[in-house]
């Protein structure tokens, strides 16, 4: 248990003293970029899904007739 507590203390010290953190502006810019690409990716995947769904619907309609 003592090793675990020491590990936690060392981890916090590492985060506070040796890590280089992004500035607030860099973090905001990165967040906006990730959000924009996420929306674009979702729209592309939805479009591909719609095309495949239409293709399958047409295929099964041809078979059912």
pLDDT of residue 56: 95
pLDDT of residue 43: 98
Tell me the per-residue pLDDT of 5-38, one tens digit each, with 9 for 90 and over.
999 999 999 988 888 889 999 999 999 999 999 9
pLDDT of residue 9: 92
**Using CA atoms, how far apart are residues 7 and 5, in angstroms rounded to an integer?**
5
Greatest alpha-carbon span in the chain: 73
């Amino acid at each position: 248990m003592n090793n675990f507590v020491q590990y936690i203390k060392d981890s916090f010290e590492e985060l506070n003293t040796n890590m280089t953190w992004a500035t607030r502006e860099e973090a905001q810019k990165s967040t906006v970029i990730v959000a924009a690409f996420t929306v674009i990716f979702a729209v592309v995947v939805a479009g591909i899904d719609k095309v495949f769904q239409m293709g399958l619907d047409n295929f099964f309609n041809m078979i059912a007739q």
